[in-house]
Amino acid sequence: MPLNPEDIADCVRVLEELVADRGELVGVDAELCRRLMIAAGRVSQPERQEQRMLSSALRKQKAHVRRKTNEAQLERTVIRRQRLQPVFITPDPVARIQAEGGSESAPNPEWDAPALEGVRVCYICKAERTRLHFFYDQLCESCGDYNYQKRSQTADLNGRVVLISGEPGIGIVVGMQTPIARFGSVGFAALASATLRDATAIMIRFMPTITTGLVYRLYLDGEQAVLELIEHVPLGAARETVVFALSTALWRITEMLLGRSLVADVEFPFPEPAYFERLRTAAPGLCTFDSDLHRVRFAARELDAPLVTADPAAARSALAQCERELVALVPPTSLVDRVNESIWLNSTGILSPAQVARRLGMAERTLKRRLAEFDTSYSQLLEEQRKLRACELLRSEASIEEIAERLGYSDASNFTRAFRRWTGENPRAFRRRAATSGGPIR
């Protein structure tokens, strides 16, 4: 049984009393007396073996304390805390850096870089490390800072593709090889539609499911149809490559849809690159450069050309998929706005929850659940809309009966009751006040 400090204190007290007065030993059993003398002597003058045991026990004890202290410090590093998460989610670099309390290059300023007990070696450079990095538990401070910076490093890749591929006209080459499947459901919906006009309309409408950076618009210019590319984001040095890739791909796909080539003149919003001559055969007609926008012009009657790939059933299902993808793109915060816009079919009709859901391309149950996420419901939103419209209409010439009908109430008294509930005032009083003071809408 291990001795505790009290046992030792007792022992010391007994020995000290014996030193003060050896007479205490009188009457003690001779054998016991002999054991006492031997033990006392060996405690003060241990043999070598006993000495070793003591120092080893001391060393173990120290190491244990050190390990405990170090572990507690290591648990504070960000990487250890992240490993405890059941699922590792890759956050975007900026949000992650802020969450970790550091900046891209400088670690967390609050971090006290605690000293590590004993010798620990950096996993990368194998140098001894004495202080703990705020993010990594196994790296020295300089390796840690370097690697941390690499976690969110960005680099400009403009023009690099040319270095790798050796083809400056990479946009045209990529465009020629782009399969229609690359455009996802939009590609399939366009493929299955009846005419070139339908296919173009589908592509324009659902372009946001492919990219929000670029948008096409189609208009007629006399006998000509013009497809124009609007750039919502500056494409910078990638512009030439992107525009070439997109226009070449669209042209290849159009050929596939029509089962023949389509003559079109193309304008590009940049100077003619030297490599273009070599790839000119990819162009559908006359190419001009240094234009203000990227435009494709072709005979307007071609819009009614039937597609050889038309397939009404496939078109329906691909279109439904496109609609779903488009809805999914809308940020959830605007759902309430979209419901508000959808509730009124026209000046008189109010859509039911099922009809609103159908308009937004989701199941009624889904609509209900998603509105609940915003702490609201169809009936609350309808009520709010009715109130706004009522105030609006009361400023117009419409009679109370008319207003009640337009807001979907069975009669004027039902409307009056509802209006009083919203505003604490009856509609006629509100109307009078509004007329005299332009009174506030409550």
Binding-residue pattern over the window 176 to 205 for Zn ion, x denoting contact by CB under 5 A: ------------------------------
Smallest distance from Zn ion to CB 123, Å: 7
What's the rounded Cα separation, in Å, for the pair 226 and 92?
A: 39
What's the rounded Cα separation, in Å, for the pair 283 and 264?
A: 9
Q: Which stretch binds Zn ion (CB under 5 A): 101-109, 137-145, 185-193, 276-284?
A: 137-145
Between residues 114 and 213, which has the closer beta carbon with respect to Zn ion? 114
Question: Is there binding between residue 97 and Zn ion (CB under 5 A)?
Answer: no
Smallest distance from Zn ion to CB 333, Å: 45
What's the rounded Cα separation, in Å, for the pair 427 and 390?
A: 9
What's the rounded Cα separation, in Å, for the pair 251 and 255?
A: 6
Smallest distance from Zn ion to CB 19, Å: 58
Binders of Zn ion among residues 106 to 125 (CB under 5 A) are: 122, 124-125
Smallest distance from Zn ion to CB 140, Å: 3
Question: Is there binding between residue 143 and Zn ion (CB under 5 A)?
Answer: yes
Smallest distance from Zn ion to CB 187, Å: 50
- DSSP H/E element including 336: helix 335-343
> Which 3 state secondary structure label does DSSP give 296?
strand
Residue 217 has φ and ψ, to the nearest 5°, of -135, 150
329: exposed, middle or buried (Cβ count in 10 Å: 0-12, 13-18, 19+) = exposed
Q: Which of 78, 97, 132, 140 binds Zn ion (CB under 5 A)?
A: 140
Between residues 124 and 330, which has the closer beta carbon with respect to Zn ion? 124
The pair of three-digit structure tokens given for residue 257, joined into one six-digit string: 């849809």
Strands (E), 247-386: 265-267, 287-288, 294-299
Between residues 122 and 391, which has the closer beta carbon with respect to Zn ion? 122
Q: Which stretch binds Zn ion (CB under 5 A): 18-26, 42-50, 143-151, 314-322?
A: 143-151
Between residues 78 and 246, which has the closer beta carbon with respect to Zn ion? 78
Q: Which stretch binds Zn ion (CB under 5 A): 81-89, 140-148, 227-235, 254-262?
A: 140-148
Smallest distance from Zn ion to CB 96, Å: 22
C-beta separation of 141 from 129 below 8 A:
yes
The pair of three-digit structure tokens given for residue 314, joined into one six-digit string: 């496939």
Binding-residue pattern over the window 343 to 362 for Zn ion, x denoting contact by CB under 5 A: --------------------
Between residues 143 and 339, which has the closer beta carbon with respect to Zn ion? 143
381: exposed, middle or buried (Cβ count in 10 Å: 0-12, 13-18, 19+) = buried
Smallest distance from Zn ion to CB 117, Å: 18
Q: Which of 322, 372, 364 is nearest to 208 (CA)?
A: 322
Residues in the interface with Zn ion (CB under 5 A) total 5
- Contacts for 255 with CB less than 8 Å, ≥ 6 apart: 261, 262
Binders of Zn ion among residues 222 to 241 (CB under 5 A) are: none
Binders of Zn ion among residues 5 to 64 (CB under 5 A) are: none
Between residues 147 and 416, which has the closer beta carbon with respect to Zn ion? 147
Smallest distance from Zn ion to CB 121, Å: 9
Between residues 111 and 422, which has the closer beta carbon with respect to Zn ion? 111
Smallest distance from Zn ion to CB 134, Å: 15
> Which 3 state secondary structure label does DSSP give 112?
coil
CA atoms within 13 A on the CB side of 15: 13
DSSP state letters, 134-177 = SS-SSS-HHHHHHHHHHHT-----TTHHHHHH--TTHHHHHHHH
- Per CB under 5 A, residues contacting Zn ion are 122, 124-125, 140, 143
